[in-house]
Amino acid sequence: EDKVVQSPLSLVVHEGDTVTLNCSYEVTNFRSLLWYKQEKKAPTFLFMLTSSGIEKKSGRLSSILDKKELFSILNITATQTGDSAIYLCAVEAFIIIQGAQKLVFGQGTRLTINP
Amino acid sequence: NAGVTQTPKFQVLKTGQSMTLQCAQDMNHNSMYWYRQDPGMGLRLIYYSASEGTTDKGEVPDGYNVSRLKKQNFLLGLESAAPSQTSVYFCASSRTGLRDGANVLTFGAGSRLTVL
């Protein structure tokens, strides 16, 4: 069964700290891994990763994928209170029999940044 | 810049009642999805639609039905609501669709449903 596991489930840090969020996966026929940020409402897209070792960056956020060890990390440097959110990891898997892809989401990491 | 719009935002039902959650997107996306989000469970796919007029079951379809009569609309129905269906429901859409490769979803703001 396809599975995506995020850790930690919850993290509380002080403003200015650096945090690392983890996502490990076991899926058949991996195609891509996506990170989303969810504040009070809809998840918003952050990154899509398809190749190992290539870092994606956006401001203070960066992410990298290791397809050999089956995990990804999301780093946030110099955290701000506006970074407080749930961070969701999702893996796209190809379903051979149906000829389709599906997204499997992890449980999410709830990040709280205290001033 | 509406994106994906869900209605209603909040709903309280009694066990056995029926209702429909509505979703509309104005991005001309081919594919639309309904997810539910429960504490500690992440997002789970209920149904998806790769194109107008077609629908397929996701991970947790039992107790739900869907309709995609127009490209921009995707409706999620609960025929006889149960307390286990208390959840936050998210509609999403994507340009490429589940059959076409990498899939970036645009989500609606969510609908919080409570079944008593």
Does residue A38 contact residue A47 with C-beta atoms inside 8 Å?
no
Q: B112, exposed or middle or buried, with CB in 10 Å at 0-12, 13-18, 19+? A: middle
Top residue of A49, A103, A107, A109 to mutate, by most chain B CBs within 10 Å, is A103
A92 CB neighbours in chain B (<8 A) are 102-103
pLDDT band for position A24 (50/70/90)?
Answer: very high
pLDDT in the model for residue A101: 65
pLDDT band for position A96 (50/70/90)?
Answer: low
Residue A97 has pLDDT above 70, yes or no: no
Tokens of A76: 């946030």
pLDDT in the model for residue A5: 95
Top residue of A27, A41, A95 to mutate, by most chain B CBs within 10 Å, is A41
For chain A, helix, strand, coil in percent to 5 are 5, 65, 35
Chains A–B, number of C-beta pairs less than 8 Å apart: 56
Cα separation, B98 vs B95, in Å, equals 9
Work out the minimum CA distance from A8 to partner chain B, whole angstroms. Answer: 12
Average pLDDT, chain A: 90
pLDDT in the model for residue A62: 97
Average pLDDT, chain B: 89
B105 touches chain A (CB under 8 A): yes
| Alpha-carbon distances, residue B8 vs A93, B2, B21, B88, B89 (angstroms) | 32, 15, 7, 11, 10
pLDDT in the model for residue A99: 54
pLDDT per residue as tens digits for the range B53-98: 889 888 899 999 999 999 999 999 999 999 999 999 999 998 765 5
B101 CB neighbours in chain A (<8 A) are 31, 101
Query: pLDDT over 70 for what percent of chain A?
Result: 93
Asked if residue B83 has a cis previous peptide bond (ω within 30° of 0), the answer is no
pLDDT per residue as tens digits for the range A25-76: 998 888 889 999 999 788 999 989 988 888 999 999 999 999 999 999 999 9
B100 CB neighbours in chain A (<8 A) are 101
